[in-house]
Chain A
Amino acid sequence: MAAPPDDDVLWARGLHYTYDGSPALQGVTLGVREREIVSIAGSRGSGKTTLLGCLSGRLLPAGGEVWFDGVPVHTLGLGARERLRRDRFGWIGSEPELVPGLTAWENAALPLLLRGAGHRAARTAAHEWLDRLDIGDCADRRPAHLLQSQRQRVAISRALAHSPAVLFADEPTAPLHQADRLQALRTLTAAARSHGITVVLTSHDPTAASAVVGGPADRFDDSPAATLVDRTITLIDGRRTPPVATAPDPEGSAACSLSA
C-alpha cells in the first residue's frame, strides 16, 4: 500500500466500482490538493456520482485506494466512515435532500447538532449561512413550503455550516435556474475559498469539460462551473480522460472549447 503524495489532501488510485456487475468506475486515479476546487465533468452515466461517493466514503470501492489526510478511507469500518463524513466532509446532492420535518434552519444546523454542538451555536451558524445565501427570511419554513431553488440553497447552507474540510457537490446547481446557478455556484466557491475548504464538484455540462483557469469571469453563455474551478477532470464511461484529449460526442456538441 503506497503512501499518498504529501500535498494531496484527497487521493485516490485505481478506483473500481460496479453496480451488480455493470461497471461504473474502471480504474480512476486522481489527487486533490488542499483548498483546491476541482470539477469532475462527464455526461450522465460516466461515473461522476459514483466517484464522488467513493471519495467521500459513502460507497466502498471494489478495488483501489482512497486516502484522506493520511487516513486510508477504503479500510475504515462503517462507523468510522460515518464519523468521518459527519465531522470532516460536507455533501450537496443534485436533489436538496432535506429532512422534511425540520425547518430550514434546523436542517442547516443538523450537522452541527449531530456533532454535539450546542443549540445556540448551531442556530447562529445556520442563520449566518442562510443569510449569506439570501434565504434568511425562510429560516423558519419547512422544506415543503419552500421553492426548489430555496431548498437547494438550504442544502448548500447545511453542507457549509459545519466548516467541513472537503465539500463534495454532486451537480449542486442542477435544480436551479440559469441565473441562480451562477450565483449559487459563486457563493459556494467564494465561501470555500474564504474558509479554506477543498471542493470536489461534478457537472454534466459538456462545456465544463474544458478547464478554464482564471478565465473570463462573468459570462453567461459559458458554463459557470468552468470559470470558477481550478481544475477539471473529465470522466468518460468510468475512465478518466487525459486533460487535453477530447472525447467524440455522438450528438455533435463536442466538448473541445479550450478557450484559455
Chain B
Amino acid sequence: MGSAAGVGFLLLSTLGYAASHPRHSGDALVRLLWCLAPLAATVQLAASSTRTDTGKRSLSALDAAGVGPGRLPMLAAFTTAVPCVLGSAAALLAFLHLRGGPDSVPFDGAAADVLSAHRPLPVGAVLLLLCIAPFAAASASAFTLRPRPARRVRGARRGDASAGSAGDREPAVPAPLRFACDDRQVPTPSGLPWGAALTAIGITVATLSRGSSEDSQRSELLPLPGTLEGSPPGVLGGWLLTALGLVLAGPGLTHLCGQLISAGRPGALRLLSGRALQEEAGSVGRPLGVLCAIGSGTLAAVEAYGAAPDDGTRVFGPLTAIGAALILCCATASALTAVAEARAARAPATTILLRLGAPRSLLRRAAALRGAVLVTVLVALTCLVGEVAALPLSRSAG
C-alpha cells in the first residue's frame, strides 16, 4: 500500500510538472519514464509477497473449498489491488493537501511550488495515473499464481520398467530389484556468465560513451529526474545493462556462494549451510540481485553527483528522494520476503534435521554462516560495481 501510494504520488507530481510546463513535453516524458523504476519495484514486491502469502499450506484448503488453481489468481489479484487502491487514494489526498487544498491544516500547500499548484489537472489523467500502480500490482500477483500445466516427465519410469519397455503391458510380477539412474543433471542457475558479461558490457559502454564526450562540460552530467537532452544516454544505457547483468547474475552468484561454503570435505555445518544456499539460489538470488543492482546504482549516483560541485541547481530534489527511498524500500522488502519464503520452504528440511537429532545450535550456526558469506560477497560486489560505474562520471567531473 505504501509503495502504491508513493508511486501514485510521483506519477501525480509528474502530471503536475507536465501540466505546468506544456512546452517541455520531452522533459515530462523523461520524468514519467523515471517513475517506471519505483513502479517496477512495487510490482516486484507485489509478486514476491503474493508468492509468499499463498504458501503451500493454504492451497489445498482453498482447493477443497472450491477456489482451485484456476480461480486463485483472481483472488490474489483482488487481495493485492485493494491495498493498492487505498494507497493510491492516500497519495491523491496527500498530493492535493500538499499542493494547497481547500482546507487549512499544517503543511497545507507546503510543497505547492514543487507540485506546480497553479495549474489545474485533468481529472481523467489523474484517475488513469492512479490506476496504474494497482493494476500493475494486481496483474503481477495474478501472473505469479497463474495455473501452469503439469509437465509430463518422459522416461521417469525408465529405471524400473526395463522389462516392459515397449510400454504395452506391465509384466505379471514386476521385479525392479536393481535400479538404474538416468542421467539427469542437477539444475544449476545458468545466469551467472550472462550476468557477468552484461555487467562488463554495461560498465564498458558507460565508460566509453563518457570517454568519447570527454570534452563536454560538467553540465552534461545526467540530471537524475531530468532530461536526456545533452547528456550521455550511453552512460544511462550502460548503467541499465549493468543493473540487468547483476539481476541475472544473482541466482548464479548465490549458488556459487553455496558451492564455496561446502567446498572440499565439509563437515555437517558447512555441508548443511552450503547446500541450503545452493537450494535457495533460485528463489533468493533474483531479489538479492535486484537489491545489489539498486545498491550499486545508488552508490554510483551518490559518487557521481555528490562529487559534482553544486551550482545552485538541486541535483537531489525531494521527489528524487521519494523515488529513491521507494525503490530501496521495495527492493529490500522484496529481498526480505524472498528470504522469509525460503525459510518457510526450508521448514520441512529443518524438521527432518531436528528429528535426526541435529542440535539447534548447529542449524543456527549454519544459517549464520551462509548469511555472513552471502552478505560479504554481495556487499563487496555492490561496492565494486558502484565504484567502477561511477568512475567515468567522477573522473570527468573532477
A-side interface residues toward B, CB under 8 Å?
Answer: 58, 79, 82-87, 89, 91, 97-102, 106, 110-111, 113-114, 116, 119-120, 134-135, 137-138, 141-142, 145-147, 149-150, 158, 177, 179-180, 183
Q: Which residues of B (143-202) have their CB < 8 Å from a CB of A?
A: 156-157, 159-160, 173-181, 184, 186
In the complex, chain B residues whose CB is within 8 Å of the CB of A58: 355
Contact flags B289-332 to A (C-beta < 8 A → 1, else 0): 00000000000000000000000000000000000000000000
CB contact between A134 and one of B178, B275, B354, B356 (< 8 Å): that residue: B178
In the complex, chain A residues whose CB is within 8 Å of the CB of B358: 82, 86, 114
Surface stretch bound by A, among B128-136, B205-213, B225-233, B265-273: B265-273
Chain B's nearest CB lies how many Å from the CB of A142?
A: 6
| Most A CB within 10 A of own CB, among B174, B178, B358 | B358
B179 touching A179 by the CB < 8 A rule?
no
Given A142-B186, A179-B173, do A111 and B356 touch, yes or no (CB 8 Å)? yes
Q: Show 27 A/B contacts (Cβ-Cβ < 8 Å), sorted by A.
A: A58-B355, A82-B359, A86-B356, A86-B357, A99-B272, A99-B349, A101-B275, A101-B276, A101-B279, A102-B271, A102-B272, A102-B275, A110-B356, A111-B356, A111-B357, A113-B268, A116-B267, A116-B268, A119-B267, A134-B179, A137-B179, A138-B179, A142-B186, A145-B186, A147-B157, A179-B174, A179-B175
In the bound assembly, the distance between CA atoms of A179 and B175 in angstroms comes to 6
The total of chain B residues at the interface (CB under 8 A) is 36
In the complex, chain A residues whose CB is within 8 Å of the CB of B160: 147, 149
In the bound assembly, the distance between CA atoms of A146 and B356 in angstroms comes to 21
A119 touching B265 by the CB < 8 A rule?
yes
In the complex, chain B residues whose CB is within 8 Å of the CB of A120: 265
3 closest A-B pairs by beta carbon, nearest first, are A86-B357, A101-B279, A101-B275
B-side interface residues toward A, CB under 8 Å?
Answer: 156-157, 159-160, 173-181, 184, 186, 265-268, 271-272, 275-276, 278-279, 348-349, 352-359, 362
A101 touching B186 by the CB < 8 A rule?
no
B267 touching A113 by the CB < 8 A rule?
yes
In the complex, chain A residues whose CB is within 8 Å of the CB of B359: 79, 82
In the complex, chain A residues whose CB is within 8 Å of the CB of B278: 101
| Most B CB within 10 A of own CB, among A58, A102, A111, A116 | A102
In the complex, chain B residues whose CB is within 8 Å of the CB of A179: 173-177
In the bound assembly, the distance between CA atoms of A110 and B352 in angstroms comes to 11
In the bound assembly, the distance between CA atoms of A58 and B184 in angstroms comes to 37
Chain A's nearest CB lies how many Å from the CB of B369?
A: 14
Chain B's nearest CB lies how many Å from the CB of A101?
A: 4
In the bound assembly, the distance between CA atoms of A97 and B278 in angstroms comes to 19
Nearest opposing residue in chain A for B358, CB measure: A114
In the bound assembly, the distance between CA atoms of A84 and B357 in angstroms comes to 8
B268 touching A141 by the CB < 8 A rule?
no
In the bound assembly, the distance between CA atoms of A67 and B239 in angstroms comes to 68
In the bound assembly, the distance between CA atoms of A138 and B186 in angstroms comes to 12
In the bound assembly, the distance between CA atoms of A99 and B180 in angstroms comes to 22
| Most A CB within 10 A of own CB, among B181, B278, B357, B359 | B357
In the bound assembly, the distance between CA atoms of A110 and B157 in angstroms comes to 28
Given A134-B177, A150-B179, do A114 and B271 touch, yes or no (CB 8 Å)? no
B355 touching A110 by the CB < 8 A rule?
no
In the bound assembly, the distance between CA atoms of A35 and B272 in angstroms comes to 33
Given A82-B359, A114-B357, do A101 and B349 touch, yes or no (CB 8 Å)? yes
In the complex, chain A residues whose CB is within 8 Å of the CB of B272: 99, 101-102
Nearest opposing residue in chain B for A110, CB measure: B356
In the bound assembly, the distance between CA atoms of A147 and B354 in angstroms comes to 24
In the bound assembly, the distance between CA atoms of A86 and B360 in angstroms comes to 13
In the bound assembly, the distance between CA atoms of A138 and B159 in angstroms comes to 11
In the complex, chain B residues whose CB is within 8 Å of the CB of A147: 156-157, 159-160, 179
CB contact between B181 and one of A89, A113, A138 (< 8 Å): that residue: A138
In the bound assembly, the distance between CA atoms of A8 and B392 in angstroms comes to 79
In the complex, chain A residues whose CB is within 8 Å of the CB of B178: 134
B186 touching A110 by the CB < 8 A rule?
no
| Most B CB within 10 A of own CB, among A91, A114, A134, A158 | A114
In the bound assembly, the distance between CA atoms of A163 and B186 in angstroms comes to 30
In the bound assembly, the distance between CA atoms of A84 and B247 in angstroms comes to 46
B356 touching A183 by the CB < 8 A rule?
no
In the bound assembly, the distance between CA atoms of A145 and B186 in angstroms comes to 8
Nearest opposing residue in chain A for B184, CB measure: A145
In the bound assembly, the distance between CA atoms of A119 and B357 in angstroms comes to 18
Nearest opposing residue in chain A for B181, CB measure: A138
Nearest opposing residue in chain B for A104, CB measure: B181
A97 touching B174 by the CB < 8 A rule?
no
Nearest opposing residue in chain A for B267, CB measure: A113
In the complex, chain A residues whose CB is within 8 Å of the CB of B159: 147, 150
A180 touching B266 by the CB < 8 A rule?
no
Given A102-B271, A147-B160, A177-B174, do A97 and B181 touch, yes or no (CB 8 Å)? no
In the bound assembly, the distance between CA atoms of A149 and B174 in angstroms comes to 14
In the complex, chain A residues whose CB is within 8 Å of the CB of B356: 85-86, 91, 110-111, 114, 158
**Given A101-B278, A106-B275, A120-B265, list of 19 further CB < 8 A pairs?**
A83-B357, A85-B357, A86-B357, A87-B357, A89-B357, A97-B352, A98-B352, A101-B275, A101-B279, A101-B349, A102-B271, A113-B267, A114-B362, A116-B267, A134-B179, A138-B179, A141-B181, A145-B186, A177-B176
Chain A's nearest CB lies how many Å from the CB of B111?
A: 51
A113 touching B355 by the CB < 8 A rule?
no
In the bound assembly, the distance between CA atoms of A142 and B185 in angstroms comes to 9
In the bound assembly, the distance between CA atoms of A119 and B268 in angstroms comes to 9
Nearest opposing residue in chain A for B185, CB measure: A145
B268 touching A100 by the CB < 8 A rule?
no
In the complex, chain A residues whose CB is within 8 Å of the CB of B357: 82-87, 89, 111, 114
A97 touching B355 by the CB < 8 A rule?
yes
Chain A's nearest CB lies how many Å from the CB of B267?
A: 6
| Most A CB within 10 A of own CB, among B186, B265, B352 | B352
In the complex, chain A residues whose CB is within 8 Å of the CB of B279: 100-101
